[in-house]
Copies of this chain bind each other. A is one copy, B any other.
Amino acid sequence: MKWTDLPNEGCSVARTMSVLGDRWTLLILRDTLFGIRRFDDIQKRLGITRHVLSDRLKRLEAHGLLERKPYQQRPLRHEYHPTQSAKDFVPVMQAMTGWAQAHLPTDKPEPYRFLDRETRQPTAPKVIDTNTGTEITSTSIWVEANRD
């Protein structure tokens, strides 16, 4: 396995890393999901260098996670909107958030929170197995090499 071969790996975790495996990409995606969609706004919020941000936005667009949409003519300017693919990553981010709250604790409050759209109550994410309906935990599952 080589870094440049990751996009063609059979392993889904490896393919995910080929898209999101760097310092900034997921944070950019998070910001666009939170409604921050313009170049300068993202740059100022993250403190990322403009040059790297420019590159990451292009990569995310090429991978189908962001879409450039004009928000004004004269001068023509674009916003970066999350696609369905990016939106479908939200549950992963939620699971990640649950993990970090348990294992990387901090005093500071979460700057954003996810609410149930109907009840407007904060969500408490957990990963379950659709087949059995039970929660997936480190002890409930078994990993084995796949022989398809």
Q: Which residues of A contact B (CB under 8 A)?
A: 1-3, 7-19, 21-24, 26-27, 30, 33-35, 45-47, 63-64, 84-85, 87-104, 106, 108-132, 134, 136-146, 148
Contacts and interface: CB of A to CB of B under 8 A. Distances in A.
Given A127-B91, A128-B128, A3 B19 contact: no
A85 to B, nearest CB: 4
A119 B146 CA distance: 16
Nearest to A11: B111
Contacts of A130: 123-126
4 shortest interchain CB distances as A-B pairs: A87-B138, A10-B108, A12-B100, A91-B127
Q: For chain A, what secondary structure do more than half of its interface residues adopt (helix, strand, loop), or is it mixed?
A: mixed
- Number of this chain's copies in the complex: 2
A137 B92 contact: no
6 contacts: A9-B108, A87-B139, A94-B127, A95-B127, A109-B148, A123-B132
B14 A113 contact: no
B129 A127 contact: no
Contact of A143 (B13, B112, B139, B141): B112
Given A113-B143, A143-B112, A145-B111, A13 B97 contact: yes
Contact of A101 (B12, B45, B93, B117): B12
